[in-house]
Amino acid sequence: MLQVDVQLGLICVGEVEASFVRALVAFNDVQLPDEEALQQDTAISALRVKRSVNCLLSDATETSVTHRTKLWSAGPASAVNWMLRGRANEAQLVVLAHTETDGEWSVLWHVPVDAHRVEGATRFLMQLYQSEVSAPQTITYDQTWTPMKRLASVVEQAPEETAMAEDGD
């Protein structure tokens, strides 16, 4: 269950609180109105592009409904070109920050995911989610611990299986 606290700037997924969220999304064929999909600021030569996407990590098998949301990105044309040219079903791994508008997210970072790697990326991200949800939420250290000892304690608590396997292996 995803909850957003706009006043605190927090996103809650289950019991985990965060300021930003990772998501695996795919562009869909929903056409937004022109004035919403593209805005231009001629004073600074910047564009603001908004697209509708499907979240690939939502559990559509239980509800048979795909979770749709809107992403926006702003900057010079070269920085938002990936959103302008994105084709339906093209997957992207993104880091998002919530905006003041429900159902809209600001893209902070993105990387394309090849179609043949989407299944493996989905498994990897779901494993990561499960390990983050089941892991202790706070880590405490003795003030006398060295940085290496602190790192070792974190590594000991980390899950063993977090490698992203190739699809079809």
Average pLDDT value for the chain: 79
Structural contact between residues 20 and 109, judged by C-beta atoms closer than 8 angstroms: no
* Least reliable range by pLDDT among 47-56, 92-101, 105-114, 139-148: 139-148
Over its C-alpha atoms, the chain yields an Rg (Å, rounded) of 19
* Position with higher pLDDT, 15 vs 82: 82
Contacts (Cβ under 8 Å, ≥6 apart) of 14: 1, 133
CATH class, domain 2-157, is: mainly beta
Query: What local confidence, expressed as pLDDT, does residue 108 receive?
Result: 93
Q: CA–CA separation, 7 vs 19, rounded Å?
A: 12
Contacts (Cβ under 8 Å, ≥6 apart) of 147: none
Query: How confident is the model over 64-119, as pLDDT tens digits?
Result: 556 888 999 999 989 999 999 999 999 999 999 888 787 888 999 999 999 999 99
Q: Where are the domains of the chain?
A: 2-157
Model pTM above 0.75: no
Q: Kindly state the average pLDDT of the residues 4-30.
A: 72
pLDDT at 49 over 90: yes
Among 82, 28, 104, which Cα is nearest to 60's? Answer: 28
pLDDT at 158 over 50: yes
pLDDT at 151 over 60: yes
* Position with higher pLDDT, 158 vs 50: 50
